[in-house]
């Protein structure tokens, strides 16, 4: 639980430079950085600041979207445990929950499903834009650009103070993301883009846009639809992660949500974030067989490389999502046959969970360790893995953005720095320097 704090709790700070003492209030287990700013050696000098690269111990907002206890391996969306949502809900219902803060009534859900289904199509010019990419364009680059481009199709989205307008853009983005994701996949294959089939469920329609060929109606295996839907649920939000922070940071300038979410997609693209599942698969392929695992582990321990899919900034225990994914993997493999890389992954996990290097650093499998294996079994090339993550994460980004723009305490994100460069040098024009 978050430490709600004792009323009136405070921290006494003694500045040994001046001998002065300060009482700093503690609220919700935090102190305000601005209160530290009052600690000064001279009224004319800047106050004390905190240095926190990567924000490892800095709360940037108050949020009621997602709760994580990394030590205990707990993840809840709006208070509901991820295990229960993965078991009994659907991605669209979870999206509703994240955005609205509560589960829908039957009527609310029907309206939500209708709205999302109604907005799956994109303007034909978006299609032309996507067709302009090189044949080998990374689908994440295509997704990031096309989501950013949507801001030009919906200029009214800039009116972020109007709740109805915000709702419209949220619906559009959740609805269109599978269309853009699927088209970036078809593009690389040189196949025609498939239009949405609004008779299908959200996830079944996505599979249809990915894999439909000449058949008049695409009929996906319901077990695969369910597995992909669960994967979307698991990725739907994860509080202040790198991409949510990017969405919030860019959104804090009051730009439209398409621009903010496209920044989030950029953040997710990186191998330390959403790109990790792609990296896991490449790593498993490189290891090749169980016999090569000990030498690989030695290389990791010697600092030559990282065991991708292991470790997490927040989870210092088994990532709860990794547990659910392992189960989803079994369901998918029942349909597709077992991915031969699974054997290597299971052995790697077994060795790493017993090895002192990983145990001491509390490095456990994260959500990406097994997700790539499922995606590969579903016949996605590794470049598409992060696109799937982005589709799942969209409601989370938008819930975080919606919360940000209504939060009166938020300001434009603008951290401080510790300046380490030169000062007051005298500029000599090039004509004299090079003479």
Q: Give the residue numbers marked as catalytic.
A: 273, 312, 368
Of 309, 320, 372, 395, the one binding ligand ACO by CB under 6 A: 309
* DSSP category for residue 365: B
Of 114, 361, 415, 416, the one binding ligand ACO by CB under 6 A: 361
Contact call for residue 99 and ligand ACO (CB under 6 A): no
Contact call for residue 300 and ligand ACO (CB under 6 A): yes
Half-sphere exposure at residue 130, Cβ-oriented, CA atoms within 13 angstroms = 31
Stretch that binds ligand ACO, among 137-145, 282-290, 311-319, 407-415 (CB under 6 A): 311-319
Q: How many residues bind ligand ACO (CB under 6 A)?
A: 18
CA–CA distance, 199 with 180 (Å, rounded to integer): 18
Nearer to ligand ACO, 8 or 53 (CB): 53
Contact call for residue 273 and ligand ACO (CB under 6 A): yes
CB of 74 to ligand ACO, least distance (A): 16
With contact defined as beta carbons under 8 Å apart, do 177 and 119 qualify? no
Sign of torsion over alpha carbons 77, 79, 84, 88: negative
Q: What residue has token string 């209504």?
A: 406
Stretch that binds ligand ACO, among 175-183, 210-218, 271-279, 400-408 (CB under 6 A): 271-279
Contact call for residue 312 and ligand ACO (CB under 6 A): yes
Nearer to ligand ACO, 116 or 281 (CB): 281
CB of 361 to ligand ACO, least distance (A): 4
Q: Which DSSP string do the residues of 402-431 spell out, in sequence order?
A: HHHHH-TT-----------S--SPPP--HH
Contact call for residue 307 and ligand ACO (CB under 6 A): yes
Contact call for residue 396 and ligand ACO (CB under 6 A): no
CA–CA distance, 108 with 95 (Å, rounded to integer): 13
Stretch that binds ligand ACO, among 110-118, 165-173, 198-206, 306-314 (CB under 6 A): 306-314
With contact defined as beta carbons under 8 Å apart, do 155 and 246 qualify? no
Binding residues for ligand ACO restricted to 192-221, rule: CB under 6 A: none
Nearer to ligand ACO, 256 or 319 (CB): 319
Closest CA to 375 of 185, 227, 160, 184: 227
Q: Which residue is nearest to ligand ACO (CB)?
A: 311
Stretch that binds ligand ACO, among 45-53, 117-125, 220-228, 273-281 (CB under 6 A): 273-281
Stretch that binds ligand ACO, among 89-97, 183-191, 307-315, 392-400 (CB under 6 A): 307-315
Of 158, 306, 316, 323, the one binding ligand ACO by CB under 6 A: 306
Contact call for residue 272 and ligand ACO (CB under 6 A): yes
With contact defined as beta carbons under 8 Å apart, do 202 and 230 qualify? no
Contact call for residue 313 and ligand ACO (CB under 6 A): yes
Nearer to ligand ACO, 138 or 273 (CB): 273
With contact defined as beta carbons under 8 Å apart, do 151 and 129 qualify? no
Strand 66-69 and strand 20-25: the pairing is unpaired
Burial 56-70 (b: 16+ CB within 10 A, else e): eeeebbebebbbbee
Contact call for residue 246 and ligand ACO (CB under 6 A): no
With contact defined as beta carbons under 8 Å apart, do 36 and 49 qualify? yes
What three-state secondary structure class fits 272?
coil
CB of 413 to ligand ACO, least distance (A): 20
Tokens of 116: 């999302």
Closest CA to 250 of 240, 265, 261, 239: 261
Contact call for residue 276 and ligand ACO (CB under 6 A): yes
Nearer to ligand ACO, 91 or 315 (CB): 315
With contact defined as beta carbons under 8 Å apart, do 111 and 145 qualify? no
Tokens of 14: 């003694």
Contact call for residue 127 and ligand ACO (CB under 6 A): no
**Rg, C-alpha atoms of the chain:** 24
Of 35, 368, 383, 403, the one binding ligand ACO by CB under 6 A: 368
Which positions lie near ligand ACO, rule CB under 6 A? 272-274, 276, 300, 306-313, 361, 363, 366-368
């Amino acid at each position: 639980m978050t430490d709600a704090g004792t009323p009136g709790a405070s921290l006494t700070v003694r500045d040994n430079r001046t001998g002065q003492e300060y009482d700093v209030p503690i609220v919700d287990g935090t102190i305000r950085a601005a209160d530290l700013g009052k600690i000064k050696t001279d009224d004319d000098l800047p106050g004390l600041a905190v240095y926190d690269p990567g924000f490892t111990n800095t709360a940037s907002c108050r949020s009621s979207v997602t709760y994580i206890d990394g030590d205990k391996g707990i993840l809840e969306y709006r208070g509901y445990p991820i295990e229960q949502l993965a078991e009994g809900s659907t991605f669209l219902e979870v999206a509703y929950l994240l955005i609205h803060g509560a589960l829908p009534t039957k009527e609310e859900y029907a309206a939500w499903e209708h709205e999302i289904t109604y907005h799956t199509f994109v303007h034909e010019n978006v299609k032309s834009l996507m067709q302009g990419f090189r044949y080998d364009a990374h689908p994440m680059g295509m997704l990031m650009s096309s989501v950013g481009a949507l801001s030009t199709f919906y200029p009214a989205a800039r009116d972020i103070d109007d709740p109805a307008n915000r709702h419209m853009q949220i619906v559009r983005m959740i609805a269109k993301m599978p269309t853009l994701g699927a088209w970036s996949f078809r593009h690389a294959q040189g196949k025609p883009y498939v239009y949405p089939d609004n008779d299908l469920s959200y996830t079944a329609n996505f599979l249809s846009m990915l894999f439909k060929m000449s058949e008049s109606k695409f009929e996906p295996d319901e077990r695969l639809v369910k597995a992909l839907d669960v994967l979307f649920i698991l990725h739907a939000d994860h509080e202040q992660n790198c991409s949510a922070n990017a969405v919030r940071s860019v959104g804090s300038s009051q730009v439209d949500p398409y621009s903010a979410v496209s920044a989030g997609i950029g953040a997710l693209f990186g191998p330390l974030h959403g790109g990790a599942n792609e990296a896991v698969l490449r790593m498993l392929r490189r290891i090749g067989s169980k016999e090569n695992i000990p030498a690989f582990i030695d290389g990791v321990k010697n600092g030559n490389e990282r065991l991708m899919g292991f470790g997490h900034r927040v989870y210092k225990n088994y990532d709860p999502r990794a547990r659910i994914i392992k189960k989803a993997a079994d369901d998918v493999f029942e349909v597709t046959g077992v991915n031969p890389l699974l054997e290597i992954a299971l052995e790697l996990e077994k060795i790493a969970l017993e090895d002192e290097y990983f145990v001491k650093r509390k490095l456990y499998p994260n959500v990406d360790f097994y997700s790539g294996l499922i995606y590969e079994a579903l016949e996605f090339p590794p470049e598409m893995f992060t696109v799937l993550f982005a589709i799942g994460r969209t409601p989370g980004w938008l819930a975080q953005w919606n919360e940000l723009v209504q939060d009166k305490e938020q300001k434009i994100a603008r951290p401080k720095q510790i300046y380490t460069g030169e000062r007051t040098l005298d500029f000599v024009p090039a004509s004299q320097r090079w003479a």
